[in-house]
Amino acid sequence: MSVYRTHFAVGLCALALGGTTFAGGPAIGFVEDFDNDSAFWFNSPANMPADWSPTGSVDGGAYITETFDFSNSAFEDTPVFFRAQDEFGSSGGAFEGDYIAGGVTGLTYQFRHNAPVPLTPFARFSSPLNFPGAIGIQFAPVLPGEWSKVFIPINEFAPNFVSFEGSDFNTIFSDIGHLQLGISVPAALEGSPLSVVFDVDKVQLVPTPGVGALLAFGALAAGRRRRR
């Protein structure tokens, strides 16, 4: 068995048993729900953990939040609000590693904001050195004032990727160290001093269908063992 497959099997066992520290590849199927704290996700300037709220998410539970104003932002800028990075130990390394070998086909998360206009969310995926990176957007803007599920497909031919920063899909997604979430600045917010609140919860990497079935089977088996 290869080193990768050994690590992947260990990761599956950790998921089934409720583990929260991951190594050797991205933890597909794991959901970061920020139940206890910010899980070492950091804020926009990357100088401290993101703010954390214990209640009010889409399921009534916890989430991370940040307030940002656009005084220094131009139209179509891409400010990052939330950072899961290897140097911070974010989510126990769940969003790091080789997405291609790991069978990752997408990223989903719950997103809410209180801007006066719909906003286009994006995710940036990069190496541990933070460059190069891939920026993928969700084409459907998110309306203000309500939790919405964002989905960024992750495959070589997804039109959602607007930039590979001079590199290519395979180079970037074979070694992810940073996951960063933000929005594309609309004309209505360019240079605006308005303070806008951004919230994120339920961050998850989507597996290929075969891997998804294996994860579901592992979780079911673990549940049966606990009931016995």
**Number of Cβ within a 10 Å radius of residue 212:** 15
| Segments making up each domain of the chain, as ranges | 31-205
Q: How far is CA 121 from the centre of its chain?
A: 11
| Cβ atoms 50, 65 nearer than 8 A | yes
The model carries a pTM of: 0.84
Confidence of residue 22 (pLDDT cuts 50, 70, 90): confident
Four-residue CA torsion sign, 55, 58, 59, 64: negative
What is the third-level CATH fold of 31-205? Jelly Rolls (2.60.120)
* % residues pLDDT > 90 (the chain): 79
Identify the CA nearest to 149 among candidates 99, 106, 193. Answer: 106
pLDDT score recorded for residue 212: 40
**Residues 85-118 pLDDT 10s:** 999 999 999 999 999 999 999 999 999 999 999 9
DSSP helix/strand/coil, 200: strand
**Number of Cβ within a 10 Å radius of residue 223:** 11
- Tokens encoding 2: 């290869």
**Residues 193-220 pLDDT 10s:** 999 999 999 999 999 664 443 344 344 3
